[in-house]
Structure 1
Amino acid sequence: MSTDLIFSDATKLAELIRTRAVSPVEVVQAHLDRIGAVNPKLNAIVTVAEGALEAARAAEAAVMAGVALGPLHGVPFSAKDSIDTAGVPTQRGSPIFKGRIPDTDATSVARLKGAGAILLAKTNLPEFSYSTETDNLLTGRANNPWNYDRTPGGSSGGESAAIAAGMSPLGLGTDLAISIRGPAANTGIIGLKATHGRVPMTGIWPRVPRRNWHVGPMARSVRDVAVAYSLLAGADGADGFSTTPLRFDTGVGSSPDQPLRVGWLVEPGFGLIDSEVAATVQKAAEALHGVGCVVEPVRIPALEQENALDIFWRLHRMEVKPAFAAVTAGHEDEMFTISKAMLGEPDTALVDFVRLEQAAERLRDGFAEYFQRYDALLCPVLPIPAHAHGLAEFVINGRTVPATHSLSATVPLNVTGLPGLSIRFGTSRDGLPIGVQLVSRWFAESTILYLASLLETASPVRDLHPDI
């Protein structure tokens, strides 16, 4: 029964609890047992919430009393250790914040708890959520459950590894340039970065800047991500970027009279893409065509004309350096390599800052033009499957590229604020998950959630779990 529980999705667990087929205590205990069994191999979980079993007992009492239950009543969830959790350490992957215990929950955590979910654990991350590899001086390196010698990605790498390995059915990650979608692809789960501002960033450091930062759901099923998104989205009165109500959705559904129009793109636009990844994107395109979508290869000129990674990095580092410098002053010997290197980067000249802002606007315009003709874009998440730990560069189709190239297909959505979803649709020759990315116009999350459900049904790798 416990094996069934740890690989049931959150929606199924909620149903079992609601119908009294299983107790919230049994569900939480099964996941705690799983953490004890496999986390030593993965280092994905960094803190177990002490009140989880107590909350489960309270949830069980509510079920037995017949009171109204929330959609996730009694279901455990985990959260990246950059997201504030009241009474439970949030240490941001840094010795500087060792032992830090927030007084209040982040808005995203509070909203899941408000739906009846139970905080189970906090998950590993790079220092300050600032790398594509989950490693830091405080809690160490996380491993990929499909191959311990490979990275689960970053910065929500601990979260993705925990969910993929059955230690948590549902989680919260953050995404600055890749950090929900990349780890989801590396470990074979589903991750959603909604339109910028859809989900408030309140309770997640740094307070500023946050124009590229997102928080969102990660899970093993599309329906879980959809349910969590429906609970998370909406203004909270504290995050000024979060102003749009959830009910505002420009997405469209498919019908025989008006099928969804999907363009698919591998190269050019995202740079070099591994042949196995490219083949997986094409297979996903064929699957969508097979269920009635109008699907065709496309090019987006703005992606070829504007360097989204350069735009992001040179704008963002100018904005984030003051926040990082303020908390690390006098603690330089406690900083990990990535943050230290970022603080040492040269400032962007004002004339270049303005030029890059204008380039970002051209990129937005290019996507706006594309979405006049198409409902969605299908493309890679990552240029390669999960790579070995600690690589500074890797080889794609015989050519060497820097590790920063891993951001090439995800960072354009952070620069423009577009929504994107990562879902597994293939397996590499090494047995590693390969994901594809679905993109829609702004505030059209319903479109990519619907398309993801179609891919999930057609997936050749549905319900695969790592042997751990």
Structure 2
Amino acid sequence: MPVYFQDATTLAQLIRSRQISPVEVMRWHLDRITSLNPKINAIVTVADTALEAAKRAEAELMKGGDLGPLHGVPFTVKDSIDTANVLTQRGSPIFKGRTPSTDANSVARMKQAGGILIAKTNLPEFSYWIESDNLLSGRSNNPWDLTRTPGGSSGGESAAIAAGMSPIGLGTDLAISVRGPAAQTGIVSLKATHGRVPMTGIWPREPRRFWHVGPMARSIRDLELAYHVLAGPDGQDAFATSTVRFDAGIGRESRRRLKVGWMVGPGFGPVDPAVAATVEAAAKALQGLGLQVEQVRIPALERDFALDVFNHIHVMEMKEAFKQATAGRSEDELYKMAKTMLSLPDTSMKDYIDAEQAAERLRDGFAGYFQQYDVLLTHVLPIPAHKHGEVEFVIDGQKVDATYLQGATVPLNITGLPGIAMRFGTSEQGLPIAVQLVGSWLAESTILHVASLLESVSKVRDLHPDL
């Protein structure tokens, strides 16, 4: 397998054993960016210090001593996440030329682990939509089919990793944004429990209780490694208060027989039969591995449609953030989603309070579910990656708008539950189909363990786009 398709853990091991140098790894990835980015448009800024940082990493390696778990490994970062002395323009002409003086804490932690920032990746305007397109840096394409989207809002990140321009990176997730893009490009991603990873240095923050930052990569072990690097309070993000017990370990869950429930609905909206079949195939695979598996329903999801709950809450809070960011700016500087958000009617106070109460019911419903089960297995997206610009779909005979693609992901943002997206199937068009593993609050080790089991029997793990 080419170096640029190795996972970050393998690259770190090869570097540590001096079978390959950080400079060689960096040059291969820089060359890959030069070769492929013109047609994929995943990368918006290359860090001009990346090669020099790789040379320093090589010198440190030759000296010996303690090395971080990602020593010499390149990583990319979504362009809504601050990077010191490297452009962070948030997908908008309003922020053109913006260069932060400090790293977001998540970026700083990746660097402290030895990772080297290679580039920033594309996103929708203000990190807000399910397709990564904006007036400043244009549209990103899916490496599996350039006529299709790699998703949003972390679509540039997912495309870069899928195409071998980066082995690992950081995205953000308000309703779908690390899991949906991962599903559309065939990589893996983790949205940890809300508050596990600080959001310090990332914009926008409203609504704060729904936003997450998380790793995107090529293997489950890379997600586990990055999660351990990223998680923990920073004294600045008040939501980031829980300390992870790393000694609990991913293997602890194997001491007892885990119980997994699987579902594709009702409660999530319509689902394409091929996607539903992939979820069922993953359920059978886990059963074959010795886990207790059964089909389930979660009544709370059927009572309160999570997407409606989300819309009532986030419009009330996020619209104000958009107003502040665009105040005094020309309409020519605004793209589709900023204009759409600003044009939406305000949520009434009654609807807002009703939505908050519905969110509480959803949390209660999941709490009840996780009294009986360790993991929920479901889909990430109801369809594989769609064509650019599509805003309406017919899914299993039902016509829906594009927001419905978030039907199975947004419940985790409302409730703060952790979730992993990973590929487990392929559509008739050769596109990735993913499943989602959901755990109870603070139970990342459980879903990482189950995901690693599923990955071990996956027939699509090492498939890569032919570019």
TM range (shorter): over 0.9
Determine the structure 1 residue equivalent to 2:406.
Answer: 407
Determine the structure 1 residue equivalent to 2:350.
Answer: 351
Determine the structure 1 residue equivalent to 2:360.
Answer: 361
Aligned counterpart in structure 1 of residue 210 of structure 2, from 209, 212, 215: 212
Q: Determine the C-alpha separation between the residues in 2 that align with 1:250 and 1:336.
A: 45
Q: Determine the C-alpha separation between the residues in 2 that align with 1:406 and 1:245.
A: 33
Q: CA deviation at 1:236?
A: 0.3
Q: CA deviation at 1:250?
A: 11
Q: Determine the C-alpha separation between the residues in 1 that align with 2:359 and 2:207.
A: 16
Q: CA deviation at 1:20?
A: 0.8
Determine the structure 2 residue equivalent to 1:67.
Answer: 65
CA RMSD of aligned residues (A): 1.3
Does the residue aligned with 1:87 lie in a helix, a strand or coil? Answer: coil
1:250·1:444 contact (CA, 8 Å) conserved in 2?
no
Task: Output aligned runs, 1:51-66, within 5 Å.
Answer: 51-66=49-64
Q: CA deviation at 1:323?
A: 1.5
Deviations 1:15-64 (A, max 9, x none): 11111111100000000000011111100000000000000000000001
Task: Output aligned runs, 1:275-314, within 5 Å.
Answer: 275-314=273-312
Q: CA deviation at 1:395?
A: 1.2
Deviations 1:349-388 (A, max 9, x none): 1122111110000000000000000000000000000000
The residue type paired with residue 235 of structure 1 is P
The residue type paired with residue 466 of structure 1 is P
The residue type paired with residue 438 of structure 1 is L
Deviations 1:228-269 (A, max 9, x none): 00000000000000000011879884447x310000001212
Aligned counterpart in structure 1 of residue 261 of structure 2, from 246, 263, 267: 263
Determine the structure 2 residue equivalent to 1:159.
Answer: 157
Q: Determine the C-alpha separation between the residues in 1 that align with 2:355 and 2:254.
A: 41
Q: CA deviation at 1:343?
A: 1.2
Q: 1:114 to 1:361 in 2, by over 3 A?
A: same
The residue type paired with residue 297 of structure 1 is Q
Aligned counterpart in structure 2 of residue 119 of structure 1, from 117, 120, 127: 117
Q: Determine the C-alpha separation between the residues in 2 that align with 1:322 and 1:13.
A: 44
TM-score normalised by the chain length of structure 1: 0.98
Does the residue aligned with 1:426 lie in a helix, a strand or coil? Answer: strand
Task: Output aligned runs, 1:13-412, within 5 Å.
Answer: 13-247=11-245, 253-255=252-254, 258-331=256-329, 332-412=331-411
Number of equivalenced pairs: 465
The residue type paired with residue 342 of structure 1 is M
2:87·2:98 contact (CA, 8 Å) conserved in 1?
yes
Does the residue aligned with 1:371 lie in a helix, a strand or coil? Answer: helix
2:268·2:305 contact (CA, 8 Å) conserved in 1?
no
Q: Determine the C-alpha separation between the residues in 2 that align with 1:83 and 1:289.
A: 39
Bigger CA drift: 335-344 or 115-124?
A: 335-344
The residue type paired with residue 51 of structure 1 is T
Q: 1:464 to 1:251 in 2, by over 3 A?
A: closer
Deviations 1:174-212 (A, max 9, x none): 000000000000000000000001000000012443110
Does the residue aligned with 2:11 lie in a helix, a strand or coil? Answer: helix
The residue type paired with residue 90 of structure 2 is R
Q: Determine the C-alpha separation between the residues in 2 that align with 1:255 and 1:222.
A: 16
1:252·1:444 contact (CA, 8 Å) conserved in 2?
no
Does the residue aligned with 2:208 lie in a helix, a strand or coil? Answer: coil
Q: Determine the C-alpha separation between the residues in 2 that align with 1:397 and 1:111.
A: 43
Deviations 1:65-98 (A, max 9, x none): 1121110000000000000000000000000001
The residue type paired with residue 327 of structure 1 is A
2:197·2:240 contact (CA, 8 Å) conserved in 1?
yes
TM-score normalised by the chain length of structure 2: 0.98
Q: 1:30 to 1:423 in 2, by over 3 A?
A: same
Q: Could you tell me which runs of 5 or more consecutive residues in structure 1 were left unpaired when the two chains were aligned.
A: none
Deviations 1:410-440 (A, max 9, x none): 0000000000100000000000000000000
Q: 1:254 to 1:201 in 2, by over 3 A?
A: closer
The residue type paired with residue 143 of structure 1 is N
Identity %: 68
Q: CA deviation at 1:293?
A: 0.3
Q: CA deviation at 1:333?
A: 2.2
The residue type paired with residue 18 of structure 1 is R
Determine the structure 1 residue equivalent to 2:433.
Answer: 434
The residue type paired with residue 86 of structure 2 is V
Q: Determine the C-alpha separation between the residues in 2 that align with 1:250 and 1:17.
A: 25
2:251·2:449 contact (CA, 8 Å) conserved in 1?
no
Q: Determine the C-alpha separation between the residues in 2 that align with 1:285 and 1:165.
A: 29
The residue type paired with residue 129 of structure 2 is S
Determine the structure 1 residue equivalent to 2:459.
Answer: 460
The residue type paired with residue 230 of structure 1 is H
Deviations 1:294-324 (A, max 9, x none): 0000000001110111111111111112221
1:260·1:375 contact (CA, 8 Å) conserved in 2?
yes
Q: Determine the C-alpha separation between the residues in 1 that align with 2:180 and 2:417.
A: 16
Q: Determine the C-alpha separation between the residues in 1 that align with 2:407 and 2:205.
A: 26
